[in-house]
Structure 1
Amino acid sequence: MHCKVKLESKKADLNSLRIDRSKPVNEYTQARKKKLITWAIVIVVLLIAVIFLVSSWDKLFSPAIEVDLTIVSLQSPSQSDAVLTASGYVVAQRKASVASKGTGRLVYLGVVEGDKVKENQIIARLEDNDIRAQLDEANANLKLYEAQLLEAENNFNRQKELFNQKVISESQLENAETNYRSILASINLAKAQTQSIEVALENMIIRAPFDGTVLTKNADVGEIVAPLAAGINSRGNVVTIADMTSLQVEADVSESNIQKITAGQDCEITLDAYPNIRYAGFVAKIVPTADRSKATVMVKVGFKDYDSKVLPEMSAKVLFLKEQKEIADVNEPPVLMVENSAIVTRGDKKVVYKIINEKAVEIPVITGREFSGYIEIVSGLENGEQVIDNPGKEIVDGISVKEK
């Protein structure tokens, strides 16, 4: 009996070691794949974490130094000598909108934009046929009165002789004298009327008030021109003329900076249209009133010399200089400059620091002339590059930095 029990237990142990063929093989394969994938993901995450820590070690444990940057730029020597910069517009100080004193249809216009005119030159003419007819009538009346004057004068002289001879009465003499004096008055009146009509005829002619250049043409032949009455059906001024020798730059200067400017102070003028051309100038006038709305004072800057490129209403920038500048100095070509504070000495050489990939990179430079707060860069840098301003001893090649 005991042996039988042992045999049965051995059979049970052997049965437990048998592979259960009832379960599919795929379940084992899938379980193994899941484990492999899980371990692969864990390994990838660990690798990413290690790479991140290595690449960000300096950022996490060595924070970047904050720095200011300054720009390397082409500047004229005058720019570094400027005490103030202002912007404004070129304005002709002698300018006129020319209109007629009479009213009529424009029949002749002899100029266009850009034409040069001389003082009293005929620019335009209005229709004047009716005024000429009135002038002819007035001249005819004058001749008639002059013819009557001869008869009245002769009659008055005869009457005086007859009166002296006691042939006629005093009243007859007075009548002759009255007729004579009446014709004289009529002649004077006719002359005044003729003169008045001649003035009206002259008013139909539009002349240039001074030597200048035509800026705009505001009317065309056939349009009605009326003085001080421009409207839908009429024109006020025919042309606008400016004296091109009276050009100045009118610049607005802040009230807080006006004390830096004095009359006669030298300036440098640059037109926005021609940024590479500079003109020597001077403070011609400081207008003795302020603009309340803008808190500025107008300063008029004259040109020492200029060419045909300078035109009215052009925008311009003005540099107010500390020292007197000649025209030749203004024409000096611009040079590459940087602020003095960006240059430091490391060993026996002058260097600047640029930021490349968030690292300070040491760049050796060769410097030239020194200006007010700036120094010329002969080699090592290019126009438009940015360098660290005022680098301290802690700024060395390769250190982590970032812009403030």
Structure 2
Amino acid sequence: MRRIAIIVVVIAVIGLGLFWYNRPKPTPVVLKEVAAGKVEATLANTRAGTVEACQRTKLSTIIGGRIEYLGVKEGDRVKKGQLLLKLWNDDQQAQAALSQAQVVLAGKRVEEVCIAAVNAEKEAKRQSELREKGFVSSSREEAARTDAEVRRASCNTAKADVAQAEAKFRATRVEQGRVALYAPFDGTVAKIVGELGEYSTPSPPGVPTPPAIDLIDDSCLYVKAPMDEVDAPKIKAGQTVRITLDALPGKQIPGKVRRVAPYVSAVEKQARTVDIEVDFDQPEATGKLLVGYSADVEIILAGRDQVLRIPTAAIQEGGRVLVFNADSGKLEERQIKAGLANWEYTEVLDGLSAGDRIVTSLEKEGVKAEAKVTPDDKAKAK
């Protein structure tokens, strides 16, 4: 009997050891203490926005031709009215010279015929005086008056010829403007398509031909960003915005909504969006920005300071959170009433108290109500 008792005790000890070794171990979870802080209701862009120039123009000549003069290179600063590019136009210049000569010739013709008209009018007046005294016949007087009228008409015709020649000369000058590009504002040459001696092709409407010169005014910049159409009714001009740039990591730049597009953009295979334009509050403090930088905007709809808040990622479907009970080492499910929220924090109006610890590592297997857990101090330290 004693031997049997010893065997039973050994078996029991082994069984208890196996049970203890194979018992379910508490799941390590990341806990976050409920505390007071600032919570804001915000909206974020659906895709990356872009830093744009307030003025940007893509210039092309009205007609095509060989580039004869290229006075700038990419990156050059230019002034308003500066000649940037000109095509070969010797034929137009020759035509302009001919038109200018015709203007001079027409002016000389005016001098000639108008002097003759004045003399004919004087002669007609003299013949009229002689006719009154009976020295000449009425037919002689009539002939002199007719000659004066004809010569005055010739003078008027010559003056019209001058006006016509001047108009033709102006037309040739306008024609020369079709082959030249001038800077419409102060700016920087971003891109040039074409080299000296190459043929430049204009960009007619509807034809995706690259422009000859891309000119930007980088002294005034703004951000253009797409917002989800669902959020569009909440966005208004003047709202405060936080701007972040990939080129300036960790830096938040304040701004304000300048414009909300009055229509929805439908991009293939993507959600419908509404474009907004955002101005920088202090452009001089942002430093040197480049047109084309990717940018994200976060529109602040409302905000509250020193309110009870929890990480938004800790909230499960239906407004439920898992609270850690230190006494039992288990998780308790708690229903909360949420207030303002964004992607980072959510305001808690009811259901939690300051000091409660909630689970944020919901992705771990076995994390559910009544589960035995243990705080993951390593994750907390990180």
Common topology (TM > 0.5) = yes
Distance 1:131 1:344, change over 3 A: same
Q: Residue 91 of structure 1 aligns with which residue?
A: 52
Distance 1:82 1:68, change over 3 A: farther
Distance 1:180 1:388, change over 3 A: closer
Distance 1:343 1:319, change over 3 A: farther
Gaps of 5+ in 2: 1-13, 128-139, 304-308, 315-321, 331-343, 348-358, 377-382
| SS state at 1:165 partner | helix
- Distance (Å, rounded) in 1 between the aligned partners of 2:325 and 2:70: 72
Question: What is the CA-CA distance between 1:173 and the residue it aligns to?
Answer: 2.8
Q: Residue 351 of structure 2 aligns with which residue?
A: none
Q: What TM-score does the superposition give when structure 2 sets the normalisation length?
A: 0.64
- Distance (Å, rounded) in 2 between the aligned partners of 1:188 and 1:218: 41
Q: What TM-score does the superposition give when structure 1 sets the normalisation length?
A: 0.61
| SS state at 2:149 partner | helix
Q: Residue 255 of structure 1 aligns with which residue?
A: 229
Q: Is it true that 1:161 corresponds to 2:126 in the alignment?
A: no
Per-residue CA shift, 1:219-254, capped at 9, x if unaligned? 22212334434999xx76321112224422222222
Q: Residue 293 of structure 2 aligns with which residue?
A: 314
The amino acid across from 2:43 in the alignment is: L
Q: Is it true that 1:296 corresponds to 2:261 in the alignment?
A: no
| SS state at 1:291 partner | coil
Question: What is the CA-CA distance between 1:84 and the residue it aligns to?
Answer: 2.3
The answer to whether the 8 Å contact 2:242/2:299 transfers is yes
The answer to whether the 8 Å contact 1:219/1:237 transfers is no
Question: What is the CA-CA distance between 1:291 and the residue it aligns to?
Answer: 2.8
The aligned runs of 1:5-404 (5 Å cut-off) are: 53=18, 57-58=22-23, 62=24, 81=40, 83-86=42-45, 87-166=48-127, 169=143, 170-229=145-204, 237-292=211-266, 294-306=271-283, 307-322=286-301, 339=311, 373=346, 388=361, 397=374
Larger of the two Rg values belongs to structure: 1
The answer to whether the 8 Å contact 1:102/1:200 transfers is no
| SS state at 2:188 partner | strand
Query: How many residues were matched structurally?
Result: 298
Distance 1:159 1:215, change over 3 A: same
The amino acid across from 1:274 in the alignment is: L
Task: Report the identity percentage.
Answer: 24
Question: What is the CA-CA distance between 1:107 and the residue it aligns to?
Answer: 1.5
The answer to whether the 8 Å contact 1:254/1:297 transfers is yes
The answer to whether the 8 Å contact 1:70/1:338 transfers is no
Distance 1:236 1:84, change over 3 A: closer
The answer to whether the 8 Å contact 2:311/2:360 transfers is no
Distance 1:101 1:70, change over 3 A: farther
- Distance (Å, rounded) in 2 between the aligned partners of 1:236 and 1:258: 34
The answer to whether the 8 Å contact 1:122/1:208 transfers is yes
Distance 1:115 1:56, change over 3 A: farther
Question: What is the CA-CA distance between 1:214 and the residue it aligns to?
Answer: 1.9
- Distance (Å, rounded) in 2 between the aligned partners of 1:229 and 1:396: 69
Distance 1:343 1:268, change over 3 A: farther
Question: What is the CA-CA distance between 1:396 and the residue it aligns to?
Answer: 5.4
